[in-house]
Homo-oligomer: A and B are copies of this chain.
Amino acid sequence: MSIPIILTNRVDSSLYRKYLKSAKSDLKDATEKILPILRSVETEGDLALRRFTETFDGIQLESIVWNPMDVQVHIDPDIEKAFLKAKENIESFHRAQLRKDWSIQVDGNRLGVKHSPIPSLSVYAPGGTALYPSSVLMGVIPAIIAGVPEIQLVTPPQKEGLPPILVWLAKILGIKRIITVGGAQGIAACAYGTESVPKSEFVVGPGNTYVAAAKSYLAGLGLIGIDSPAGPSEVCIIADESANPMWLACDMLSQAEHGEDSSAILLTDSEALAKEVSRELEKAFEERPKRLAMKKKAIYENSAILVMPNIEECISFSNELAPEHLEIQTKNPEQVFAGILHAGSVFLGPYSPVAMGDYISGTNHILPTARGSRIYSSLGVDTFLKRVTFQEISRESLSRLYPYVKTMSELEGLDEEHGTSVKVRTEGHQH
């Protein structure tokens, strides 16, 4: 077997349109299953959390809420150094996202926008092999910079106790609360609050289907805000003959390493490059056999190399794909990037593999997947800041604009009170 190489043309797009997958998974079945869990947590609180944790995790919870300051942990100094460097860079990039309040004069009145943080946030961190400490930095740092006053971590309990790296991260981030309840019951605890878990009004972070279903359902009720729906990880690469085929193969495999449903799509105008990358993939499978079956499945079944007539077609297809990660490895990456409308995060030039953004460069790695970047943004400070608009109307302007308000409110059948509330102010001073 080998990765599919598809020579595309404008005539028969059916050959490659199947790679435009949207993981619009119907959460209906999962939602049916979690509804009784949500209801129990809402009505029974901690009691329900303990019961579900015993049933689903096989763990009898001592404490539900932990203060990381009360837990002693030892972390390898090299790991500390790496995470502190990542923290520093993530902070630098996200601090630059902070927005100034502003106001302008419009038609004699002062109108403006003030930014204020959401009141509270829970960051969900999956447990076991899905525990990615780097994602904790990505979820928490933007919220701290936005000024969110209450931030807590939520994570499934582990038989061997709290993961030391999670406790250490919570300490250096100044987080005062770790909730050890996973799954739908963990999300419900945050949305409704219980005796021991304070309610959060926003929940972010990846999780399994039940976590996703609980987040979606509770967000639909307006009870919590959530990040964009998360699916399998994916990369798209636009490359021309100037790119290094071995590096491209590494980048595609780095995506495949996330799971067999991961996808790597290489778009190129060079058939020669396509063949070289395919050979490099095979060589890599021999040289680096770890997780081989998984990587092969991702590459052979969910990935492809599409040879397009030209780079413009690559750009246009990439915009349809709206990939989570987009690498541009061409002679002039800026020029290609100028045509890019929809992507989660973009990596320009030969020395920008996705792994740099995953861990250390400072951009956020919590990104919309499954074509979500057509409508959603990556996680950032803006995720946690609201724009509160304001206005101060002048008396002169109010009088001048009143006839328009009268006309419009009459048309909408709201003239009696809407119109009057303006009219009375045209007739006299405040007292």
Binding site for B on A (CB under 8 A): 22-27, 78-79, 81-83, 85-86, 88-89, 92-93, 96-97, 102, 104, 106-107, 109, 111, 113-114, 116-119, 129, 131-134, 165, 201-202, 216-217, 219-225, 228-229, 231, 242-244, 246-247, 250-251, 253-254, 256-258, 288, 290-291, 295, 333, 337, 340-364, 370, 372-378, 380, 382, 386-395, 397-398, 401, 403-405, 407-409, 411-414, 416-422, 424-425, 430-431
Contacts and interface: CB of A to CB of B under 8 A. Distances in A.
Q: Which 10 A-B residue pairs are closest in the complex by CB-CB distance? A: A225-B375, A346-B390, A250-B421, A82-B404, A257-B417, A82-B407, A254-B417, A377-B387, A348-B392, A353-B421
A3 to B, nearest CB: 15
A345 B390 CA distance: 5
Nearest to A334: B392
A386 B225 contact: no
Contacts of A419: 355
Given A133-B411, A356-B401, A361-B393, 19 more contacts: A27-B220, A79-B411, A93-B106, A107-B362, A116-B340, A131-B412, A133-B408, A165-B411, A220-B220, A222-B370, A222-B372, A247-B421, A254-B421, A257-B416, A353-B421, A355-B422, A356-B405, A360-B401, A360-B404
A430 B23 CA distance: 35
Contacts of A424: 246-247, 250
A132 B340 contact: no
Nearest to A165: B411
Contacts of A343: 388
A86 B408 CA distance: 9
Contact of A360 (B24, B345, B348, B408): B408
A146 to B, nearest CB: 12
B373 A378 contact: no
Interface centre among A85, A132, A351 (most CB of B within 10 A): A351
A389 B263 CA distance: 20
A95 to B, nearest CB: 9
Contacts of A414: 254, 257-258
Interface centre among A81, A345, A361, A409 (most CB of B within 10 A): A361
Contact of A351 (B26, B104, B111, B398): B398
Contact of A388 (B134, B346, B404): B346
B288 A417 contact: yes
A388 to B, nearest CB: 6
Nearest to A215: B220
A83 B408 contact: yes
A214 to B, nearest CB: 12
